Amino acid sequence: MPSMTRMRGAIVVDTERCKGCRLCVKACRLGLITLTDKAVNHKGYPYAQQTDWEACNGCTACATVCPDGCITVYRKREE
């Protein structure tokens, strides 16, 4: 009997390069990315952050739409 596997993902945002354009927020179908509300980078922009570390499936939609290449997605298969 095959075991069930699940993809787990996590994003790393280059916060100093992020300009807070919100494209990744809109692209995340699971609603797991927001912009910071109390912190800004050295340019004064709020930056993207992952809000739920358990639900991300590593689909890479956020990284694909980022115009500045600020997001790296890591994926891991879990059983």
CA distances from 31 to 1, 3, 24, 35, 78 (A): 33, 28, 10, 12, 21
Domain covering 6-73 in this structure, CATH number? 3.30.70.20
Domain residues of the chain, as ranges?
6-73
Q: Is the pLDDT of residue 62 over 80?
A: yes
What pLDDT does 3 receive? 61
Question: Band of the pLDDT at 40, cuts 50, 70, 90?
Answer: very high
CA distances from 59 to 9, 32, 70 (A): 8, 12, 16
Let me know: does 7 contact 58? Beta carbons within 8 Å.
yes
Question: Over the chain, what is the mean pLDDT?
Answer: 94
Q: Is the pLDDT of residue 35 over 90?
A: yes
Q: Is the pLDDT of residue 27 over 90?
A: yes
